[in-house]
């Protein structure tokens, strides 16, 4: 089988997977709530800020506390919670597939 054909077949399988369909539905539902979208955007921005501080070696204790507080607030919103859970399941699927492919072409030894 041609690698491109297999990639297209995998893409079709992913687009029909329960993980993706649930993620897509949760994303569409979230788009209907501008306040929830703003809250999620704020959470993502704070996550990036904390990660940048960690990578730079700077103290991120205050930013981490802010992130934790923001996450606690956001987690009470059922739409955002559902979205984050669906996103997590879909990302696990994608990571598993990436690991399978990496093993097949001996890229897993590079870590």
- Please say if the pLDDT value at position 111 is more than 70: no
Per the structure, how many domains does the chain have? 1
Residue 88: which CATH number? 1.20.1500.10
Give the pLDDT confidence of 97-108 residue by residue, as tens digits.
999 999 999 887
Give pLDDT, residue 110.
60
Q: Per residue in 31-86, pLDDT tens?
A: 999 999 999 999 999 999 999 998 998 878 888 999 999 999 998 999 999 999 99
Place of tokens 């993502």: 44
Is the per-residue pLDDT at 22 higher than 60?
Answer: yes
Radius of gyration of the chain (CA): 18
Collapse the DSSP code of 94 into the 3-class scheme (helix H, G, I; strand E, B; otherwise coil) and give the result: helix
Q: Which domain holds residue 90?
A: 3-110
């Amino acid at each position: 089988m041609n690698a491109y054909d297999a990639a297209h077949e995998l893409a079709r399988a992913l687009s029909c997977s329960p993980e993706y369909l649930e993620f897509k539905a949760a994303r569409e539902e979230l788009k209907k709530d501008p306040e929830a979208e703003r809250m999620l955007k704020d959470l993502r921005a704070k996550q990036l800020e904390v990660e940048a501080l960690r990578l730079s070696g700077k103290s991120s204790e205050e930013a981490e506390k802010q992130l934790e507080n923001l996450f606690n607030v956001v987690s009470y919103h059922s739409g955002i919670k559902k979205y984050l859970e669906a996103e997590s399941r879909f990302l696990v699927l994608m990571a598993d597939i990436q690991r399978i492919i990496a093993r097949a072409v001996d890229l897993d030894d590079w870590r």
